[in-house]
Structure 1
Amino acid sequence: MRDIFNVGSTTLLVVVVLILTVLAYGLVRSRAMSSVSGDARKLHSLPNYYGYNAAMLTAIPALFVLAIWMLVQPMLIQNAVIDMIPQSAVNEGSSVNLVMSDVRRVANGLDAAVESGALDAQSARDLDVTGTDVRALLAGTGVALGSDVTPEVLAAAQRYRSMEYTGRWLMIAVISVLALAGLFIAMRTARADFRARNTVERFLLGLLVLAASLAILTTVGIVLSMLFETLNFFRLHPWQDFFLGTTWAPNFRGDSDLSILPLLWGTLYISIIALLVAVPIGLFAAIYLSEYANNKVRSFAKPLLEILAGIPTIVYGLFALLTVGPFLVNIFGRGENGLLGVDWMSGATSVLTAGLVMGIMLIPFVSSLSDDIINAVPQSMRDGSFGLGATHSETIRQVVLPAALPGIVGAVLLAASRAIGETMIVVLGAGAIARISGNPLEAMTTITTRIVSQLTGDTDFASPETLVAFALGLTLFVLTLGLNVLALYIVRKYREQYE
């Protein structure tokens, strides 16, 4: 009954608000029409705008307060209840969160006991642990506790239950009053001279501004969260070693070498190989599909090419580990038993393995975007080139590709950003060794792989070996931002040439 009340009461409240919203729309629209004897031409706005205004006044404040209430009430109740639990009540090896979890379970168990008839409501409020095996009582209701119920936990659970019950009824009352108040105000404003359209349009404009602001604020929040943790890292670890060192060797003993250069080198090396594979193949595929292929071939080839974009990266990683890696070992490794009779590659994981597979993954990004961009070049430019006597290939090289160059550069940089942020292919295909080497047949690692590694497992967030993940993430963000700025510069430079 408690869970039904928790979920059901909120759902029912939302349904009631929505019903009042629909009712407000119809009533206020009808009232506006009645105020002008059914002649809509005498209204300042169309009749629907009066209904929209009523719906907004009824639903928006009520639902907004409901959302805030559901976020704030649990925190307020927990803060009030947690003060009742002394530190001595927290067993050694347990945490306050574990004790609070037991408090919530006891509160649920008390409600279940009341519903089953094992306790009445007054007994649930006055129940004392002395002389009563509360754990056994609640076990009969299906509630499992992490520890024995102490008097402090029982008292906290009783207060938790009481405050939650009171808060929920208060929430229902407040939300209902807000919805009815909105309906009342809308009824009062249903006059011929009320500028309903202006009010609705201002609200929609505010909604659009809010949506744009949320996107911006989310980005700012992400950057600030990484920045603050990065500053904490540099308080514990010298920035000179991070940016200028050449060794990555975290050991969690306080004397780690945490330099980004080996990781940055591996990231850029693998990304460059991937782009060397993806850009020519993807661009040539886009030119063929947009300029040479007939409709039948295009309708068949393009969907097949874009299937590559839908394959999970873990599958690409397994493909690199089980197929591409052993294939490269057969060519460049195994000494006299290899295809070339050399022993340059000792294992299946290498920069070349990850770069080749990542390049295959990026082909749809380059080809699909480039195809759309090339098709967007006006046909009049092609016709003009043909009219001057240029061949088809000359038109593509000298007219179509220069006109589409800004978009193609954007597609390539999007693929580069995708390559820089890739993790699973690198984990399975490139290995986990941080080093600076020019040999593409050696195993290396990237920034994203190290971020995952440093934050995995039982880690202490006050140690440099954990905080370094945020410094790595911020550096990766700055690198990606630099690529976007470069793309913007190139796009503007070449766009001026053709506008």
Structure 2
Amino acid sequence: MNIGILLLIVLGISGLGYYFGRQRALSLSAKSGRRLHSLPGYYGQAVALFAGVPALLLMIAWLFLQPLVLHSHVSGMIPDSVIPEGGARSLVMADVERVAGGLDALMESGGLDEAGLDRLRADFTNMRSRLADVGVAVGSEIPAEVLEAAKAFRNGHSTGQALMAALVIALSLGLGGWFYFRITPEMRARNTSETFVLALLIGSSSVAVLTTVGIVASLMFETFNFFKLYPAQDFFFSTVWNPQFRGGSDLGILPLLWGTLYVSFVALFFAVPIGLMIAIYLSEYSGKVLRGFAKPAIEVLAGIPTIVYGLFALITVGPFIRDWIAQPAGLGSSSSSVLTAGLVMGIMLIPFVSSLSDDIINAVPQAMRDGSYGLGATQSETIRQVILPAALPGVVGAILLAASRAIGETMIVVLGAGAAAKLDLNPFEAMTTVTVKIVSQLTGDTEFASPETLVAFALGLTLFVFTLGLNVIALYIVRKYREQYE
């Protein structure tokens, strides 16, 4: 059964549970002549929650666990003789999944049935042709073991989906019906409903924590596998980045880290002063009409897709810097450069700094301004010596958010700064960043167990630790200066 249809069925059962639960509470109250402990809606809400939430949680857990179990089971069916020399089992499993998807498409289109599949099992050429008809590309030969594994994968997936649908619907009807028949006028339905909602909110709030733990754990696990294949000292201290998927790679992070910091510094050097001046002007000097127009207009910059910024850097900013600055000064001849990416990224970051800083400055109590004016300070002196120091923690947070956004940017760097990994001080030279290389190392049909692929996780974990260090430093600065105004 389609996941969307199953979801609609569960939501429909929950909606009916709400209606019938509410009606049952009103009916029992009228028959017995006793007042309900809670409002009628709480009885319906409790039935709806019991009918919907556990069933949806089961569906989510099933969708997460079924691929893992099925993949492990089918992978064990593939003999070592089928795995190409120097290849990986994961690549064969990728072929199995593609063939299984093609079989599904052929079954759905009516072009193949179970008997036809048995007839085609030994006819590799015909099978490749039938799969190509539904857009599935496979190798020059489909071994019989791979075809059997694909059939088992398809059957296991279909069986799992059907079993999941049956269990989810049964759980929804069972729990909803169980609570429906427990309804009495004396039941504390409000307490039950609010306790259920509280547990749901706690579970939802834990998603962020669990997601962070999962991200860090996955990065650490794959990074550990990488360092078993590649020396850690060469990764952290080598100044050469030259991945070769046939062996003999140099995977030093220093050129990538330097490019990341260089581009981010240029972007922040451009965005932070302009963003702060915009925030100060809009909050302290501009009128309501201008502020009402200018602030939304500036915030539009934050909604522009980064690929558009990248094209702007590639087509407009890069050639302008090359033709009017770099080449006349003899500093470079490429339109892709650190300065190009940094300036365009700085334009993108202006709303992050200006909008947040504007809100923070407006949140400074008016009493602090009035006190400064009462002591004879001018407006500019009040801004410099009272408002900005009081708003410093929030401004630092806005700058930190912009820095995190700059460090994690990819598309602008790809199109504006190029893909050259090198250590250079010239801002008119092409360089690259950690995020760009993470994408490039995980792109393509490459062996996942190789150092050239696993290095992406080591790069990601290093970037995570680096940004975490920035957060700690910023938090220390914020707390140190905040004490002066509390």
Residue 303 (structure 1) aligns with: 296
Further displaced range: 221-230 or 73-82: 73-82
Q: Does 1:294 align with 2:287?
A: yes
Measured against aligned partners, the alpha-carbon deviations of 1:420-479 in whole angstroms (never above 9, x if no partner) come to: 122222223323333333332333222222222333334333332322222111111111
Q: Distance in 2 between matches of 1:251 and 1:155?
A: 35
SS in 2 for 1:54: helix
Residue 186 (structure 1) aligns with: 179
Cα distance change, pair 179–491 in 1 and its aligned pair in 2 (3 A): same
**Cα contact 2:336–2:418 (8 A) shared by 1:** yes
Measured against aligned partners, the alpha-carbon deviations of 1:214-273 in whole angstroms (never above 9, x if no partner) come to: 211111111121112222222222222222233333344544332222222222122222
Q: Distance in 2 between matches of 1:262 and 1:165?
A: 48
Deviation at 1:96, TM superposition (A): 4.8
Q: Distance in 1 between matches of 2:365 and 2:395?
A: 16
Further displaced range: 177-186 or 100-109: 100-109
Q: 1:129 aligns with which of 102, 112, 119?
A: 119
Q: Mind listing any 5+ residue stretches in structure 1 that lack a counterpart?
A: 1-5
Deviation at 1:82, TM superposition (A): 7.7
Q: Does 1:224 align with 2:217?
A: yes
SS in 1 for 2:119: coil
Further displaced range: 14-23 or 241-250: 14-23
Q: 1:33 aligns with which of 6, 21, 26?
A: 26
Q: Distance in 1 between matches of 2:160 and 2:317?
A: 61
Q: Does 1:414 align with 2:423?
A: no
Cα distance change, pair 410–62 in 1 and its aligned pair in 2 (3 A): closer
Measured against aligned partners, the alpha-carbon deviations of 1:355-397 in whole angstroms (never above 9, x if no partner) come to: 2222222111111111111111111211222222221111111
Q: Distance in 1 between matches of 2:478 and 2:381?
A: 23
Cα distance change, pair 152–361 in 1 and its aligned pair in 2 (3 A): closer
Q: Distance in 2 between matches of 1:241 and 1:420?
A: 23
SS in 2 for 1:129: helix
1:129 is aligned with what amino acid?
R
Q: Does 1:446 align with 2:423?
A: no
Cα distance change, pair 402–41 in 1 and its aligned pair in 2 (3 A): farther
Q: Distance in 2 between matches of 1:168 and 1:212?
A: 29
Determine what percentage of the aligned residue pairs are the same residue: 58
**Cα contact 2:326–2:428 (8 A) shared by 1:** no
Residue 274 (structure 1) aligns with: 267
Q: Distance in 1 between matches of 2:154 and 2:440?
A: 42
2:119 is aligned with what amino acid?
V
Q: Distance in 1 between matches of 2:142 and 2:449?
A: 34
Deviation at 1:161, TM superposition (A): 8.0
Measured against aligned partners, the alpha-carbon deviations of 1:152-175 in whole angstroms (never above 9, x if no partner) come to: 899888878877777666555544
1:184 is aligned with what amino acid?
G
Matched residues, number: 477
Q: Distance in 2 between matches of 1:368 and 1:272?
A: 20
Cα distance change, pair 409–39 in 1 and its aligned pair in 2 (3 A): farther
Q: 1:52 aligns with which of 38, 42, 45?
A: 45
Residue 468 (structure 2) aligns with: 481
**Cα contact 2:100–2:154 (8 A) shared by 1:** no
Residue 464 (structure 1) aligns with: 451
Further displaced range: 392-401 or 246-255: 246-255
Residue 3 (structure 1) aligns with: none
Deviation at 1:100, TM superposition (A): 5.3
Further displaced range: 479-488 or 71-80: 71-80
- RMSD, aligned α-carbons: 3.9
**Cα contact 2:18–2:44 (8 A) shared by 1:** yes
Residue 313 (structure 1) aligns with: 306
Measured against aligned partners, the alpha-carbon deviations of 1:328-369 in whole angstroms (never above 9, x if no partner) come to: 3344444xxx3xxx4223322332222222222211111111
Q: Distance in 2 between matches of 1:389 and 1:420?
A: 43
**Cα contact 2:420–2:431 (8 A) shared by 1:** yes
Cα distance change, pair 406–43 in 1 and its aligned pair in 2 (3 A): same
1:25 is aligned with what amino acid?
Y
TM-score, with length taken from structure 1: 0.81
Q: Distance in 2 between matches of 1:155 and 1:468?
A: 34
Counterpart mapping for 1:276-425 below 5 A: 276-334=269-327, 338=328, 342-425=329-412
Cα distance change, pair 85–188 in 1 and its aligned pair in 2 (3 A): same
Deviation at 1:148, TM superposition (A): 9.8
**Cα contact 2:37–2:186 (8 A) shared by 1:** yes
Cα distance change, pair 41–360 in 1 and its aligned pair in 2 (3 A): farther
Q: Distance in 2 between matches of 1:89 and 1:464?
A: 23
Deviation at 1:86, TM superposition (A): 7.3
**Cα contact 2:70–2:153 (8 A) shared by 1:** yes
SS in 2 for 1:461: coil
**Cα contact 1:129–1:150 (8 A) shared by 2:** no
Q: Distance in 1 between matches of 2:333 and 2:471?
A: 38
Q: Distance in 2 between matches of 1:257 and 1:177?
A: 56
Further displaced range: 238-247 or 276-285: 238-247
